[in-house]
Chains A and B, each alone.
Chain A
Amino acid sequence: MPEDILMDIKRDYVLSRIRAGERIDGRNFDEFRKVEVKTGIIEKAEGSALVKLGNTQVVVGVKMQVGEPFPDTPNMGIIITNAELVPLASPTFEPGPPDENSIELARVVDRGIRESEAVDLEKLCIEEGEKVWIVFIDIHALDDDGNLMDASSIAAISALMNTTVPAERFGVGEDFKLPIRDFPISVTSLVVDDRILVDPCRDEMSVGKNLMTITSDEEGNVVAMQKSGSYLMAEEKFYELLDLSVAKAKEIRENVREQLKGGENGEDEES
């Protein structure tokens, strides 16, 4: 596979630059690529967001439906997260049922949102034990230039914040904004030799998918973690990652919050 040979060449290049204390795109080791967030891009969805993380692009759409609650949580709405790595987004993605990578992506994004209790699920109960809102979060990758994980989790929370519950359409009252009470942000890093590369791009991942994702909430608590990739991580490296990821999440959260605010103002001006 030509992709593999190219990757071998890139690997040597990436490694030599890292050993020289540099990243191939000139970023600092703890620097994210430029984050761009646009919400409300799909009118038919209850909420949506397009996130660009450098050249990586992801769309998340939120759709809602009325359904039955789970028996053990009769007064709570339901979140269902799904990810599709469509072949359009990368030469290595293939059509077909979700593979382990897309399942992992969806589950880690889901965990950040669920465990931070970002969506107030009790407010999504229509009739206890009978009817609740089901929130479908669908992650649609458009261009995988590395770190789909963080692009997807930023897109997911942004789309949720953009979501209006379509109560009128379902004949269960007036439409209302989806109640959001936290702002989880995931930070994924590549662990190479003794270095930590925050927000790795596709070419950097040619050295191996030695990834660690740490998601934290607004207060700086850790709400989800996932070591991903066949590698062994030194304990001290993990502690370093932990502090770094929580600090980075704060920075990204403020950046995204500003952009979301800007978007709303823009809409106001037009109307």
Chain B
Amino acid sequence: MSQRITVVEKILGANERLAETNRLALDQAGVFGLNLMASPGAGKTSLIEHTIRRLADRYQIAVVDGDVATSIDADRAAAAGAQAVQINTGGECHLDAVMLQEALAQLDLPSIDLLIVENVGNLICPANFQLGTHKSVLIASVPEGDDKPYKYPGMYQGVDALVINKIDLQPYIDFDMDYFRRGVEALNPGLVTFPLSCRTGQGLEDWLAWVGEWVERGR
């Protein structure tokens, strides 16, 4: 005999429950957690390096680096002065709450003020998987083109802040900032944005002030 059973469950519910556990672990240790997402080459690792170099005298910083295979990014974070844990996702396109939980176990959380998670370079999948970090930040960059909010709405909707990197290249590239911002505003009204250049240092101060403010609140 056939019977229909109603299921009221989100498919990624298990990941979300685990993300809550991670959040609790961070809260108890007084760690502010940032999840940085971007397409490959947008400048995630460069922004992390600059953030570590500029904030390392004030805060203990740890970086969890999600990468498909290598440890190049984690090595760069360690060289800049942070505790670094590498997660090789083995081909997976995103980090999930399980992977972060395993990484957190390798860190001395109570000694850390700021945890930066560098997600796998990808504008689709990471948006679906909560990690338990406090803020999600998307790093866009001028050479990627001004149509990205329209093409990847899921990613632009789910973030708490947007960095627009490589603005020093704007004179050389057809990037309509108004068109880009209209798309962002429609998807995520009032989203805080940080136009900056990791290469020239322009705009970095505002970004560092924002991060610093959240770290202070989390302590």
Whether chains A and B associate is no
Give A residues with C-beta under 8 Å from B: none
